Structure 1
Amino acid sequence: MTTPAALLATAATLTALTGATAGTAAAAEPVSAPAPVTRPDGSGECTYPAKQIKGTPWSLQRVLLDQLWQDTKGTITTGKDKGKPIRVAVIDTGVDIKNPQLKDAVDAKSGVDLLPKPKDENKEAPPGGPTTDVVGHGTKVAGIIAARKAPGTGFVGIAPEATIIPIRQNDEKGTGNTTTMATGIEKAVAAGAAVINISQDTATPLKADSALERAVEKAIAANVVVVASAGNDGLDGKVKQTYPAAYPGVLAVGASDRNNERAAFSQSGDFVGVAAPGVEMVSTVPKGGQCVDNGTSFSAPYVAGVAALVRAKHPDWTPQQVIAQIEQTAERAVNAHDRYIGWGVIDPVRALNEDDHPIDHVTLNQGPAHNVEAPQPAALATGETPQQRQERLATYALGGTAVIVAIITGAAIITRDRKRRGRA
């Protein structure tokens, strides 16, 4: 298990590698670049291909998958597109389809590569194409959304029948910028995406009516749910907005840990809609296998996967209604919005089951907040859980009562026998 110190070090590394600052749209400033290196267990670097991780990740242990998938695993259930897979665009570093769990999940023909070709004719062009991912970031993001089940691992995507549209827009050098991201959003809409995942961010606001803002607005108007990571610059404790997550109509996702609390690196702000698991996240990597990583980059696709399931079950719902459903059913300690985890930590099963009718915004209940303790991964338990302790104490109490009853009963029998012998 990764130690807290190692986790903070990893988060700091992510922040250092993704801390680019965006300026005006005209300047086409770079968006934050994904981290090129991950650590599978806190002790070594992840190499591609990686070994299979056999166990079920904690982020999936907390979900009753049979109940989550009782209506759909990502296949549209009603309407003119019934029976077709819901389409989710991943605007990132590409999605490697050599990983067996992604081979049948990716629509390579609809993919787009927006990275520029080298201007120097003598310079060899880097490997290209939307299914090329030399970083591994986009492959992990896609896996959390739609990885298929595979023998030898307990990892699977949240929506394992959804289709991924790969849009390669960035790399380890931070080549992507606000203009290419805007273009990526437009390409995703044109390719029929019902959900767009953007696990990238800028550090400062762009000018009003920037190309990126216009692209987001057009996507929402085209009935597309846009999900974006809130960013990994939260270690300094400062509240700030990141983009495109902070644009109106976008579902901004922060990172939570095993205790449903904000991960230390997760950027806080009033724009955060919900939080989702983002610590020690298992997912697919290029060429095969899985690795572990940390960041809001991996919280966002967890939510995008749930959004894909909601859209597949309710294709007639608007983007706002899908977002409101996810926010309404999130687990929260208080009946209010929180700048750290938004409306709470996403509850996938509630989002797919408490859906009798669409809603347009969160409605606060008069009673206590929905704050059910998440199931603890049994394989990772280091001591007895609170429930086990209660059961143990209850057993002691019952056992003690039984002993007392036995003593009293025994004493009564002895007294009775003595009286009988005295009469005789």
Structure 2
Amino acid sequence: MAAIRPVAALVALTALAAAQPACAATGPEGGACVLPANRPFEGRPWSLQRVLLDELWHDTRGEGVRVAVIDTGVDDTHPQLAGAVVPGADTLAPGGDGTGDPVGHGTLVAGIIAARPREGTGFVGLAPGATVIPVRQNDARGHGTDASLAAAVRLAVARRAQVINISQETVGPRAPGAALGRAVAEAVRRDIVVVASAGNNGADSTRTPAYPAAFDGVLAVAASDRDNERAAFSRPGSFVDIAAPGVDIVSTAPGRGHCADSGTSFAAPYVSAVAALMRAKYPHWTATQIAARIEQTAERSVNGRDDFVGWGVVDPVRALSGDDAPQDAPHPDEPPPGARAPDPAPLPAADTPQRRDRRYAAWAMALTVLLTGAVAGGAAVARERRRRCTARAEGPPGAGSAHPR
């Protein structure tokens, strides 16, 4: 309990800004998820249809990798999360272990990462062998603060998380030297893959960085739609590193069923799951190298990064099926060996008055010939028509008038 007292003291600092879940709070038809959710989703969600799961899990399902979910808690009684969740921590109720989730947000996030396969549903987590460490940091009343979020990051580090998912955003502080910045920097220094949502006020053209996503070393995730375009609500900015499906995302909800919701909150765990798979497959790679592979293998619409989807939309299979040579940073795609740009078509020299006059004269001559031919042809047709009319009027040769006798 002694280790919990500093956390409680930090939570009591009411002067700090609240940390908010980074979700758009809309379901498939625009309404919020209804909890508890007892109806399972029978089909395969669109966000999983774009992934060849058998190929993705060829080498690993994330066994042995510990992923901290800093959120509203996780319902560990859900059938697809039973056995996937270990006791964690609670910054709002010292002594709590993070299991249980009356809000539902954290349970959706955890399911995207590590939900186990189950008969009767096509939904499954991308890393169904990974272990979830729930760290409760927020509730339905928004009691989470920058201080409690910083404390949650430290608790995740203390529980030996190898990946930390933060589907939260704060309005401050933005200084790396503040408590939250220091906590994130410590997690990065300990070689933990830190993944955070980019935020949801993109519809207002807001480009202000969201934190902790914008801190150095954090993989900032925007939300993409079914067309691999930035979701309208996803916040753009120079801090965005990658994008992942974040529209109408189906996942586990408190109860026994599933719910669909939209937001960068649900794009971030998609990337965290890929990071967990990579930690299992490449145990000697650094967090920086894992992030670079995820960015380098993303599906891009431009050769490089932009402020809307970063380096592109994550491609889980491609990230796991590359060679075993790590890299420390993403870069624009290299052209194939021996490839070169096509030669430009020759452009004519600038026109001169002499050339223009000769061209106009040739056009006039061609037009005159065409008109002359048309007039001559028309006259011949007219003469032939008159001849035929005269012949019909005179009758056949030798014919005369018939008079009665």
* Structure 1 equivalent of residue 66 of structure 2: 87
Identify if the C-alpha distance between structure 1 residues 74 and 215 changes in structure 2 by more than 3 Å, giving closer, same or farther: same
SS in 2 for 1:201: strand
After superposition, give the CA deviation of every residue in 1:236-272 in whole Å (9 maximum; x if it has no partner).
1121100000000000000000000000000000110
State the Cα distance separating 1:290 from its structure 2 match. Answer: 0.4
Alignment correspondent of 2:398: none
**Which of 28, 40, 59 is matched with 2:16 structurally?**
28
Where 1:265 maps in the other structure, the secondary structure is: coil
Distance, in Å, in 2 between the alignment partners of 1:43 and 1:35 is 13
Given the two structures, how large is their TM-score scaled by the length of structure 2? 0.77
| Aligned twin of 2:201 | 233
Aligned to 2:254: 286
Question: Paired residue for 1:151, among 116, 119, 123?
Answer: 119
List gaps (5 residues or longer) in structure 2: 1-12, 337-405
Which residue of structure 2 aligns with residue 224 of structure 1?
Answer: 192
Unaligned runs of 5+ in 1: 1-24, 76-84, 118-126, 369-424
Q: Which residue number in structure 1 is paired with residue 155 of structure 2?
A: 187
Distance in structure 1 (CA, Å) of the matches to 2:109 and 2:33: 18
The answer (yes or no) to whether the contact 2:23–2:263 under 8 Å persists in 1 is no
In structure 1, what is the Cα distance between the partners aligned to 2:163 and 2:96? 24
Which position in structure 2 is the counterpart of 1:52? 40
Query: Which of 269, 283, 291 is the matching residue for 1:301?
Result: 269
> Which deviates more, 204-213 or 58-67?
204-213
TM-score (norm 1): 0.73
Task: Give the aligned partner of residue 386 of structure 1.
Answer: none
Aligned counterparts of 2:32 and 2:144: Cα–Cα separation in 1: 28
Structure with the greater alpha carbon radius of gyration: 2
Q: Does 1:115 align with 2:95?
A: no
Equivalent in the alignment of 1:164: 132
Which residue in the other structure is 2:319 paired with? Answer: 351
3-state SS of 1:32 partner:
strand
The alignment partner of 2:169 has SS state of coil
Q: CA deviation at 1:158?
A: 0.5
Percent same amino acid among aligned pairs? 56
Q: Contact 1:33–1:172 at 8 Å: present in 2 too?
A: no
Q: Is the 8 A contact 2:198 2:210 kept in 1?
A: yes
Q: How many residues align?
A: 324
2:49 pairs with one of 51, 56, 61: 61
Structure 1 residues 336 and 174: CA distance shift in structure 2, 3 A = same
Q: Distance in 2 between matches of 1:315 and 1:305?
A: 15
Q: Which amino acid aligns with 1:66?
A: D
Using the TM superposition, give the Cα deviation of residue 128 of structure 1 relative to its aligned residue in structure 2, in angstroms. 5.8
Amino acid at match of 1:220: V
Further displaced range: 182-191 or 138-147: 182-191
What is the Cα-based RMSD across aligned positions, in Å? 2.0
Residue 110 of structure 2 corresponds to 142
Q: CA deviation at 1:202?
A: 1.3
Whole-angstrom CA distance in 2 between matches of 1:356 and 1:37: 39
* CA apart distance, 1:203: 3.0
